[in-house]
Structure 1
Amino acid sequence: MNRDFTDVSMAVIRRLPKYHRYLKDLLDKEVYRISSRELSRLIGFTASQIRQDLNCFGGFGQQGYGYNVEELYKEIGNILGLNRVYSTVIVGAGNLGQAIANYPSFVKYGFELHGLFDVNPKLVGMKIRDINIYDVDELGTFVKENDIEIGIICSPKEVAQDITDTLCKANIKGIWNFAPIDLKVPKDIIVENVHVSESLFILSFLLNEKSKRD
């Protein structure tokens, strides 16, 4: 039975991938039990924060035992929805789009890439990992006919909204947006923005502040 976690804050949700990553590292090192205090030293969150976060989903630890690493890893994966397959397309088959298409964990975590799309005639007809690059004019029809759930936008910002409109009309469910623009979508479409430049600007700010203190 699926549990509803819509009342859990996004701050907690955004910490889950970090838990998932560190737990995978522990499993790779054959560590199968860990306390919240030990996990705290690894991740950097306080032990209290870790316990509070996990209690939002029912709690997984046992007093005097800690957490079963393998069970916690699987449960967090299930909460994140990594126990199913998502059909995806990439729009924009330039350097960024190709890098994402070649990302080794893409398929590993259930994101099944069905096609890439671009306006460049030199790219159309080529393949990335045996996946075809199509003309962007075919995008809407392809998404509908293949029940695509996630559209990954790696296009210039000037065309990102037009691409978004096409995806929305084709009944896309979610968009992973790398274009430096805030997209306008219907309320039932989920958008996750990845603004690379904004992250870089934060790094610039922190370095600048550190240089002032030094």
Structure 2
Amino acid sequence: MGNKVSITVIRRLPKYYRYLGELLNKGIARISSQELSTLTGFTASQIRQDLNNFGGFGQQGYGYNVSELYRELGKILGLDKVYNAVIAGAGNLGQAVANYRGFEDAGFKVLSLFDKNPKIIGLKIRDIEIRDVDLMENFIKENNVEIGIITTPKENAQDIANTYAKSGLRGIWNFAPADLKVPENIVVENVHLNESLFILSYFLKRNLGGNSH
């Protein structure tokens, strides 16, 4: 069932999940697709269609049970289990990612950072040790690591991806501005910060009347 769901639907699920979490925190027990539409900006029929891909969650005249839908979406997104992760590249970006508290909430446990800079090897970021990158492959194999995060400069990213692939990792979260070549059985999610910034720049320029510098 999951394989046939379009990527655009899947990319909307985390937004539903986030809003449902906020509703739970406010003590709201149920919500209609219309109210969910007002919150998320998606149409009520779009929401119903999206959720119907994964089974019937709503009841006619009642709407959705917030805690049940939140739990089920968490399962669909794979958030009902803990994933061990490592970070390659312990510079500013790598340290910022390691410091991000949202990881634990989402079930991701960063076990170690890796770097080749001898000045920072042995330091700890939030109790997470920075180790020599040469130890990374063995560490991944020995600690059942499933996700590798890349926060290295572009020129090192493919080498890191190769090491990840050899280590038996299942997923890569790539912050480096590089298109990685990896075996088909490894899932890659790219976070291109620059591209996101360029899109912001495009809309800013448009909103400012197209003034060029």
Aligned to 1:21: 18
**Aligned-pair CA distance for 1:104:** 1.0
Structure 1 residue runs of 4 or more that deviate by more than 3 Å after TM superposition:
none
Question: How many aligned positions are there?
Answer: 211
Which residue matches 1:151? 148
Which residue does 2:165 correspond to in 1?
168
- In the alignment, which residue of structure 1 is the partner of 2:117? 120
For 1:25-40, list aligned pairs within 5 A.
25-40=22-37
Q: Is 2:71 aligned against 1:74?
A: yes
Tell me what 2:207 maps to: 210
State the one-letter code of the partner of 2:32. S
Query: What is the TM-score with the length of structure 2 in the denominator?
Result: 0.96
Matched residue, 1:96: 93
Task: Identify if the C-alpha distance between structure 1 residues 144 and 32 changes in structure 2 by more than 3 Å, giving closer, same or farther.
Answer: same
Deviation at 1:213, TM superposition (A): 7.5
Paired amino acid for 1:168: A
* Cα shift at 1:206: 1.0
Q: Which amino acid in 1 is paired with 2:205?
A: N
Letter of the structure 1 residue corresponding to residue 132 of structure 2: D
User: Paired residue for 1:41?
Assistant: 38
In the alignment, the residues of structure 1 paired with residue 185 and residue 98 of structure 2 have an alpha-carbon distance, to the nearest angstrom, of: 26
- SS at structure 1 position matched to 2:209: helix
What do you get for the CA RMSD once the two structures are aligned? Answer: 1.2
Q: TM-score, normalised by structure 1?
A: 0.96
Deviation string, structure 1 residues 95-122 (Cα, Å, up to 9, x no partner): 1111111111111221011110011111
Q: 5+ residue gaps in structure 1?
A: none
Corresponding residue of 1:198: 195
Distance 1:209 1:136 in 2: 44
For residues 104-162 of structure 1, give each alpha carbon's deviation from its aligned partner in whole angstroms, at most 9, with x where no partner exists. 11112210111100111111001111111101111111111112100000000000000
For 1:40 and 1:81, the matched residues in 2 are separated by 24
- Specify the alignment match of 1:54 in structure 2: 51
What is the DSSP-based 3-state SS (H/G/I as helix, E as strand, rest coil) of the residue aligned with 1:58? coil
